[in-house]
Amino acid sequence: MNCLRLYEVLLIIDPRLTDEEAAQLVTRLEESARELGAEPRGVDNWGRRRLAYEIRKQREGIYAVLELHTEPGALKEFERQLKLNESVLRFFSARARARPAKAQEAVEEVG
C-alpha cells in the first residue's frame, strides 16, 4: 500500500563541524532519503543553538529541519541510518500537519 505522508525530521548536528560540513551532511542525508524512496521537500537551517543539557559532552548543536514526503517504512529505515551517523547528536521525527488548500495558496502568494 502506497501511503505517502509528510514528515518533519529535526536534526541536531555535532557543533564541531563547520557550517559547510554541516550543509554537506544535510545534503547527503537528503540524498540518502531520496534513495529510500522519500521526496525531500526542503530544509530549514536554524543554525547553532545552545542545548538545554549536554549531549555527548557538547553544549551546542547545529539545528536543521528536514521535510520528507515518504512512507512510514522508509522513514523508519532513514531513522536507523541517522542513529548510525556519528555527526548527528539527536533527531526527532514527527508527522507534519497538512495545511488546508486555501492556507497553502496564501503562503505561496506571499512567499
What is residue 32's three-state secondary structure? helix
**Cα–Cα distance list, 41 to 8, 24, 44, 67 (Å):** 10, 17, 10, 5
Determine the average pLDDT of the residues in 29-52. Answer: 94
- Please say if the pLDDT value at position 30 is more than 70: yes
CATH classification at residue 90: 3.30.70.60
Determine the average pLDDT of the residues in 65-80. Answer: 94
Give the number of other Cβ atoms within 10 Å of residue 19's Cβ: 11
Helix axes 72-84, 19-35, angle to 10 degrees: 140
The model carries a pTM of 0.82
pLDDT at 59: 96
Read off the pLDDT of residues 78-107 as tens digits, 9 standing for 90 and up.
Answer: 999 999 999 999 999 999 886 665 555 555
- Domain count for the chain: 1
Domain carrying residue 82:
5-110
